[in-house]
Amino acid sequence: MEILLQQGDSKGHALARENEKRAGMMTYSIAGPELIIIDHTEVEPAYNGKGVGKQMLYKIVEMAREKEVKIIPLCPFAAMMFKKSEDIKDVLKS
């Protein structure tokens, strides 16, 4: 599974691909120089239950650590992952 990050001035996303096929996308908005808001997660039906959402989230978390930004998870999937995953709470906006 390949996870690509793309970012513009006000929005960004993580795109999951496998063998050139889109597996999923997680989108976020840039709310300031030190804050992003994850607003949507979408996984193609063929990839449900294969950890695609988690892989995309962890790629965004990795980027947030590098850029020293915090995350507000408005997307229900991302919010649930932050509640149950201790290893990523360091980038959660409190």
pLDDT score of 91: 98
Task: Output the average pLDDT for the chain.
Answer: 97
What pTM value is reported for the model? 0.96
Report domain extents, the chain: 2-86
Q: What is the pLDDT of residues 45-73, one digit of tens each?
A: 999 999 999 999 999 999 999 999 999 99
- CATH number of the structural domain 2-86: 3.40.630.30
pLDDT score of 94: 86
3-state SS string for the chain: CEEEEEECCCEEEEEEEECCEEEEEEEEEEEECCEEEEEEEEECHHHCCCCHHHHHHHHHHHHHHHHCCEEEECCHHHHHHHHHCHHHHHHECC
